[in-house]
Structures are given as C-alpha cells and as structure tokens.
Structure 1
Amino acid sequence: MSRHKFLFHSLWRQVSWRLLTNLKLIALSQSYQECRLATKYFYIENNIIKGGISCRWELNDYLAKYGGNIGYGVAPNYRKQGIATEMLRQAVKLFQQRHLDKVLITAEDWNVASQRVIESAGGVYENTLIEESTGYRLKRYWIDLTT
C-alpha cells in the first residue's frame, strides 16, 4: 500500500478515536439502501481528511448521463500531490472486485487537472454534455475494467 491511508468503511486503527467516532456516526446515519447504492471513502494522512471519493455502485438516469460511477474531490491545500490519482486508482480496484466491465466518470470541461487524472487511470473520452439544470459542460470518460 502507498504511504497514504485510504479510508474504507472499515476504518484504520491509526485514525484518532474522535474522527473514528464521527465517521462511524456518518456511516450509521445512512440507510442500508444508500450504502448498497454508493459508498463514500476518505483519503486521510496525519489524521487530516485531504480528499474523498464516492463509488456509485448503481446508476440512476441522472448519474448515467451526467454524474457517473465515481465522483471525487481534494481539499484545495492538498491538490497537486497525487491524492486524486491514488483515490481513483483504488476506487477502480473496488469496481473490479464487483466484476463491473466499465465505469463512467465525468469532469467539467474547464477542469484539466481532473481530466488528466481520469486519463491516467485509463479513462477514454466519449463526449461532452451540457447538464441542463446548471449549464455545466461535462466531459464523459469510460474506464475499461476488463484489462
């Protein structure tokens, strides 16, 4: 494993008890249905949450068009450190374990850094759509999980 901790719903022992308790409360507040459809993971280093990634195991119509299977973010102070790349790499492994053939991930057209992260994980550009309610231009990428 890399030098960073990637926090799953079964939490690492190194995480402080206060943080552990707070995250347990967040996880317990979600219904079983929500956890089955999507899981949120956190990227923690030195007991600081630096990023998070959502794995959406099933897609509704909106996510199938605009949101995709994966959404992630990194706190501004921790960008350009490879955190998004590492989170996406590990999320792809989780989807492979669930035997999916491919995952959809989107990035706004101005977010070149996110596009590079997606492409470095094997993302292949499909098209750009405009999200109707916001006007955001979203680039859609597919990552093949069969290789």
Structure 2
Amino acid sequence: MRALVQRVSSASVTVDSRISGEIGAGLLVFVCVMQGDTEAEGIWLARKVVNLRIFEDEAGRMNRSLLDVGGSALVVSQFTLAAETRGNRPGFSTAASPDEGKRLYEHVSAHIAGHGVRVANGVFGADMDVSLVNHGPVTIWLDTASA
C-alpha cells in the first residue's frame, strides 16, 4: 500500500461541481492499494499517518503528530501512485483491482477515524478535483513494502 501525505492548512475534494470532502488544518492522504495488500498493511498505514510527527511544536520543530494537534484527515483514493514509468506512458498493472482497492481504501480511512481523527473522503473511482494549501510545504511518501 502506498500513500502520499501532505500537511495542509486546508484541503477539499470536488466531484461533479459538489464538494465531497473538506478539512481545515491536517493531512491530505492519497492512498493507493497495491496487488497483494491486506488489512494488515491498512492498519499499519493508518497508524503511521496519525502518528507521523510532521507538525511543529512550540520550538518550531516537526515534533507533533496529527493526534497531538487535533487535526483532520482528507483521505483520497489515487491508483496512479502505482505508476510504473519505465516508458513515457505509465502503467498501473500493480494496483489492486477496483473492488479490492475500494475495500482496503475504506479500511484505511476507517482505521484513521478509529484513532479519533475527523476524516473526510474523496469518492472512490470518481474524477475528482483536489484543492489544497500545502503547509510548509511538507510532503511524505509512505510505502508498506519498505516498512
């Protein structure tokens, strides 16, 4: 499972001209389920996301987690994180099937919420417009294969 995590001042997802999810300060989490991923990777990823110490403390150091600051998470499915870019046209054959991708994407989102974090979501499989203000900027790549 892969995730691209961005610390944001705000973020939202729009589908068909309607906002489907939005947050203030917190994390925008793009999630890609890979072939062979299980619930265990989802639990690991959710725990990692909520405990990443990428928010500033009183001294200005990145030393506080999403849980510490009481931030929210906007969780968005993004199969393109599975891109294989050997040529000029990316391939996505290592991404999980849509049914399995949706099931485990929802699993990750639920486990983030299970830590007491307010979670908003994109719409799985939809053509989404994502808006964000990346604070820092801070962007972190997570991959359960390298955990």
TM-score normalized with structure 2 length: 0.39
Q: Answer 1 or 2: which has greater helix percent.
A: 1
Q: Answer 1 or 2: which has greater strand percent.
A: 2
Query: Larger Cα Rg: Structure 1 or Structure 2?
Result: 1
